[in-house]
Amino acid sequence: MYRTAAKYYDLIHQTHTGDIALFNKLAEDGRGLILDIGCGSGRLVIPLAEAGQTVTGIDNSADMFAVAQKRMAEEAVPAELILADILTWETEQRFGLIIIGMNTLMEFDNQTVLDLLKASAKLLAPGGKIVIDVIQPFLMAALENEDGGFAEDEALDDDGRKLPMWSGWSADHAKQQVQIKWRIQDSGQKVEFSNLFHYRYLDQLMDYLPAAGLEIDAVWGNYDQEPYNEESERMIVSLISISA
């Protein structure tokens, strides 16, 4: 999916910055090593490392990995990047804060989401936390198909060029799936790509936790850590090990 999207990923998400302060704050609680699962372009890894945190980012997309590597080299950021699938990655390291950041959990279907939670739980240091950040599921459930009526927006690329962007979606709510689509006008060319997201409600997510040896520590509805409810913008779930 990220073959085409990698080039435009940071452009599309350039206004999504509120999570950086939250993860910095959680990191400053003295949790030790940080793992960013599905680190993508390094959107979180880079500011966390710049703030002095010891961060490892892992991603299984070679295209996203290349974007992150390039950014880190340009900005001389001292973080570790791993190109691997989190479901099969082996390491002796254990992490005090594991981030499954902006919507990454939604890329895992109902078969693999438990594997992701188990793999993450295995990597937790004693007393550590896993923090998942996804789009509010009730917001996803309310999406009607918007194939024809794409909302137009304009993003500025690194060279300050305005690139018209459209995004839309097609939803299969019986399966709790939404295909989000993007179109970008770049130098006269229309570039298109999409990504399939699986949304799940808090109680559905909680059903997976015992098998992964995890339990809820807190649930927030936005990056200011306000309590979660059905009207919240985000669903941010902090998990701890049951044995903690």
Ligand X SMILES: C[S@@+](CC[C@H](N)C(=O)[O-])C[C@H]1O[C@@H](n2cnc3c(N)ncnc32)[C@H](O)[C@@H]1O
Which residues of the shown chain bind ligand X in the complex (CB under 6 A)?
2, 13, 38-40, 43-44, 58-61, 64, 85-87, 101-104, 107
**Smallest distance from ligand X to CB 80, Å:** 14
Contact 169, 151 (CB under 8 A): no
Q: Are 4 and 193 in contact (CB under 8 A)?
A: yes
What is the CB neighbour count within 10 angstroms for residue 169? Answer: 19
Pick between residue 18 and residue 127 the one whose CB is nearest to ligand X.
18
Cβ proximity to ligand X: between 88 and 189 the closer is: 88
Q: How far is the CB of 116 from ligand X (least distance, A)?
A: 7
CB of 38 to ligand X, least distance (A): 2
Both structure tokens of 86: 């989190």
Residue nearest ligand X, Cβ-based: 38
Look up tokens 């009607």; give the residue.
144
Could you tell me the smallest distance in angstroms from the CB atom of residue 193 to ligand X? 13
Residue nearer to ligand X on the CB measure, 44 or 240: 44
Sheet strands (E) in the chain: 34-37, 55-59, 80-83, 95-100, 124-135, 151-156, 162-172, 177-186, 189-198, 214-220, 234-241
Look at strands 214-220 and 234-241 and give their pairing: antiparallel
The residue with tokens 């779930």 is 237
Minimum separation from the CB atom of position 243 to ligand X (A)? 25
Q: How far, CA to CA in Å, does 6 sit from each of 17, 20, 176?
A: 18, 20, 25
* DSSP code for 203: H
Of 38 and 128, the one with the shorter C-beta distance to ligand X is 38
User: To the nearest whole angstrom, how small is the minimum distance from the Cβ of residue 212 to ligand X?
Assistant: 15
Nearer to ligand X among residue 104 and residue 232 (C-beta): 104
Can you read off the two tokens belonging to residue 132? 């998942």
Closest C-alpha to 36, from 55, 19, 54: 55
Question: In terms of CB distance, is 98 or 171 closer to ligand X?
Answer: 98
Q: How far is the CB of 64 from ligand X (least distance, A)?
A: 4
> What is the b/e burial string over 127-150, where b = at least 16 CB atoms within 10 angstroms of the residue's CB?
ebbbbbbbbbbeebeebeebeeee
> Which residue, 102 or 174, has its beta carbon nearer to ligand X?
102
